[in-house]
Amino acid sequence: MKVGAIIAEYNPFHNGHKYQIEKFRREQDIDYVIVIMSGDFTQRGEPAWMPKHLRAKAALMGGADLVLELPVYYAAGSAAVFAEGAVAHLNALNCVDALCFGCETFSSESQHLEWLKKTAHILMAEPEDYKAELACGLKQGYSYPVSRALALQTFIPMPELLMQPNNILALEYVSALEKSHSAIQPIPVQREGEDYHSPNSDCFFASASAVRRAIQCKNDIDLQEGLPDTSREIIRTGFHRELPVFPEDFSAFFAAAFLRSAPNLSRYMDMTEEIANRMISCFKNYQSLPDFLMEVKNKAYTYSRLSRCAAHILLELDKETFARAQEDNYACYGRILGFRKAAAPLLGYLKKNTSIPLLSKMADHQHILSGNGLRLLEADIRAADYYRTVLQMKYGQPLKNEFTQNIIIL
């Protein structure tokens, strides 16, 4: 049995995602595909555009065999935290042979992999010249991603490629595999169609952000060529019932959390004293979460970084819990969001090999988990409670909790 894995958000699941799964299966002779997917909050620190159970269903209908949830401590973390958390879970399953990820390449996929590995080794070794250039960029007020790309100019060709979102994550996946001495083989796949940030939705390979924006503006799901029929139907059925969800929907919740946490903001992940002071200074003008973050934003701190900080405040994602989980090698359990019945052999194979418990019934979590695992799951429950409360307030959805949400089985 050959098992492949993909780390994703599927926000929403589009044709590019379906293409990736199909190409991965075909070219690597993959028997089963495991997806580890972010839950209610994404790597940009924003709430997912649609609920995780619908995204898991779309993934399974689009070719995945098993979907696991990436704990929100990692899912809403920096690119490095997102990647290291996800890779650690795949390592702990002890059955994954290959990890496939999208990228924007300047050459063949194999040459691009060599470029990623070389870059990863430089970042891990941190030569003195590199550290000096990085510090210089940060001192000049550039954000960390920009400073890093500038510092790498003398070490690798085309360092500007590191400004591409898919390449940023691709590099972090390769770095995480290298750091953990993983036997999992990295498999880059050239991104097809529109650029990650492209607003063009009138094409077969539209980006997720373009699809979201077009549905919001045109209010017509059927016009979206970038969606597989299965995803389109899921979105159509849930539209204005369970989706879309936006950051501004959490504005009141964030304001309350901020007021409660203001004296101790530095305890949360990604927070620095400077960011905390800027937030406190700007909060007097608070109207909505997105507007607040735009006011706090400056040359040194990107909107995404600040959005993650806001998510960490809202969800109480503290540095101490993260540090303990990091010491415990990140992975404490694997929570199943959904699977295909045809993947029964995969589930049996997993249960024989995994070094972490697989959580399929939330009611069992207190008997199965303790310590770090329990704290990580409690954060996911908090995230889900906020998310479902928004759905209730916005669309009149029944106020369910994580204990009443069934696993998706196809």
Q: Encode pLDDT of 293-333 as tens digits.
A: 999 999 889 999 999 999 999 999 999 999 999 999 999 99
State the amino acid at position 139 in one-letter form.
K
Element holding 190 (H helix, E strand): strand 185-190
Confidence of residue 200 (pLDDT cuts 50, 70, 90): low
CA–chain centroid gap for 397, Å, is 25
- The per-type count for the chain, helices as H runs and strands as E runs, is 18, 8
Residue with tokens 């490629």: 161
Q: What are phi and psi of 159, to 5 degrees?
A: -65, -20
Distance between CA atoms of 43 and 27, rounded to whole angstroms? 29
Would you say 74 and 86 are in contact if contact means Cβ atoms under 8 Å apart? yes
Distance between CA atoms of 251 and 231, rounded to whole angstroms? 29
Mean pLDDT for the stretch of residues 16-21: 97
Residue 201 confidence (pLDDT): 64
Residue 193 confidence (pLDDT): 61
Residue 216 confidence (pLDDT): 83
Mean pLDDT for the stretch of residues 147-158: 87
Whether 165 has a pLDDT exceeding 90, the answer reads no
Distance between CA atoms of 365 and 220, rounded to whole angstroms? 41
Q: Dihedral sign, CA of 298, 301, 306, 309?
A: negative
Whether 79 has a pLDDT exceeding 60, the answer reads yes
pLDDT, tens digit, 9 for 90 and up, residues 263-284: 999 999 999 999 999 999 999 9
Would the pTM count as exceeding 0.85?
yes
Whether 249 has a pLDDT exceeding 60, the answer reads yes
Q: For the chain, what is the largest distance between any 2 Cα atoms, rounded to a whole number of angstroms?
A: 58
SS3 (DSSP) at 191: coil
Would you say 97 and 2 are in contact if contact means Cβ atoms under 8 Å apart? yes
Those residues whose C-beta lies under 8 Å from the C-beta of residue 154, and which sit 6 or more positions away, are 129, 133
Nearest 5°: the CA angle 383, 385, 387 is 70
Residue 199 confidence (pLDDT): 60
Whether 195 has a pLDDT exceeding 70, the answer reads no
- CA within 13 Å, CB half, 231: 27
pLDDT, tens digit, 9 for 90 and up, residues 305-314: 999 999 999 9
* Per-chain mean pLDDT for the chain: 93
Residue 232 confidence (pLDDT): 95
Q: Which two tokens stand for residue 269?
A: 């992940």
Mean pLDDT for the stretch of residues 60-87: 98
Residue 203 confidence (pLDDT): 79
- Transcribe 322-389 into DSSP letters: HHHHHHTTS-S-EEEEEE-GGGHHHHHHHHHH-SS-EE--GGGHHHH--HHHHHHHHHHHHHHHHHHH
Mean pLDDT for the stretch of residues 118-138: 93
For the chain, the C-alpha Rg in angstroms (whole number) is: 20
Residue 159 confidence (pLDDT): 78
DSSP bridge partners of 391? none
Where is mean pLDDT largest: 47-51, 187-191, 207-211? Answer: 47-51
Distance between CA atoms of 201 and 190, rounded to whole angstroms? 19
Where is mean pLDDT largest: 138-142, 198-202, 375-379? Answer: 375-379
Residue 286 confidence (pLDDT): 98
Q: Which two tokens stand for residue 203?
A: 């094409």
